[in-house]
């Protein structure tokens, strides 16, 4: 039976070698049996341009290219950590960039895929920063800077983000029910799959009398996992502990 795998928030980093090893085992194992793999953002901890010479980044892109070369379609959606990933990186990895949100038909079930950050509408400070940082002219100006300068700016912004998260109430950083309902309504009451919040679970929502399923994907900081979807539905799969 054909099936598709969906993951998010891998946050691959040399600081977590066991998870990196799990990722490559996943590419060589379960992912090879799938029709397609969707990564819904935050593939890495930090991305400041497709000219990144980091050996791990190159190995990850080459691993994805190997998966695509084996006949598995690979799709990537930008997250808040990797929204500067561009066409050059996508070409090397043999993957297709998809917008956020993306609505696809998975074996007869309309499925809305999102990174998930735009659902966290109570986090007004983050959303304002998101809109500011993604202005096309600012992205172009940033990418024109020397790579070392970009890396320094990226590290400082990441450190600032981590400090902010430590003092922000968890519920503010979670998906808001009204935003979830609006997304489901706008796309015809599909199944919804997203990451970002790092709160893996299955939820049911009744919107305008329609019952909708929502899956929140796990992060890969300590263990990792993905969603396996086929014609009979979706099931979560946890990676072995590391």
pLDDT digits (tens, 9 = 90+) for 29-39: 999 999 999 99
Omega cis (within 30) before 188? no
Tell me the C-alpha distance between 146 and 167, whole Å.
33
Q: For residue 201, what pLDDT is reported?
A: 97
Sequence-distant (6+) residues with CB within 8 A of 111 are: 103, 104, 105, 190, 191, 192, 193, 229
Straight-line distance from the first to the last Cα atom of the chain, in angstroms, rounded to the nearest whole number: 30
pLDDT digits (tens, 9 = 90+) for 150-205: 999 989 988 888 887 777 777 788 999 999 999 999 999 999 999 999 999 999 99
Number of domain units in the chain: 1
What residue numbers bound the domain in which 201 lies?
Answer: 4-238
Q: For residue 157, what pLDDT is reported?
A: 86
Tell me the C-alpha distance between 64 and 72, whole Å.
9
Query: Any idea what the CATH number is for the domain that residue 208 is in?
Result: 3.60.21.10
Q: For residue 6, what pLDDT is reported?
A: 98
* Residues of the chain scoring pLDDT < 70: 242
């Amino acid at each position: 039976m054909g099936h598709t795998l969906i993951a998010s928030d891998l946050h691959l980093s040399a600081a977590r070698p066991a998870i990196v090893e799990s990722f490559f085992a996943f590419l060589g194992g379960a992912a090879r049996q799938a029709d397609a793999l969707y990564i819904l953002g935050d593939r890495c901890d930090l991305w400041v341009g497709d000219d990144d010479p980091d050996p791990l980044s190159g190995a990850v892109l080459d691993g994805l290219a190997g998966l695509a070369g084996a006949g598995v379609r690979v799709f990537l959606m930008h997250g808040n950590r990797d929204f500067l990933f561009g066409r050059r990186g996508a070409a090397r990895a043999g993957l297709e960039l998809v917008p956020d949100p993306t609505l696809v038909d998975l074996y007869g079930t309309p499925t809305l895929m999102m990174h998930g950050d735009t659902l966290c509408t109570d986090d007004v400070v983050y959303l304002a920063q998101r809109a500011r940082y993604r202005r096309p002219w600012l992205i172009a100006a940033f990418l024109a800077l020397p790579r070392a300068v970009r890396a320094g700016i990226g590290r400082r912004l990441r450190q600032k983000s981590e400090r902010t998260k430590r003092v922000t109430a968890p519920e503010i950083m979670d998906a808001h029910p009204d935003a979830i309902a609006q997304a489901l309504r706008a796309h015809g009451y599909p199944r919804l799959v997203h990451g970002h919040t790092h709160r893996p679970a299955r939820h049911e929502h009744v919107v305008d009398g329609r019952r909708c399923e929502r899956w929140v994907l796990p992060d890969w900081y300590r263990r990792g996992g993905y969603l396996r979807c086929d014609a009979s539905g979706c099931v979560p799969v946890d990676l072995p502990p590391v």
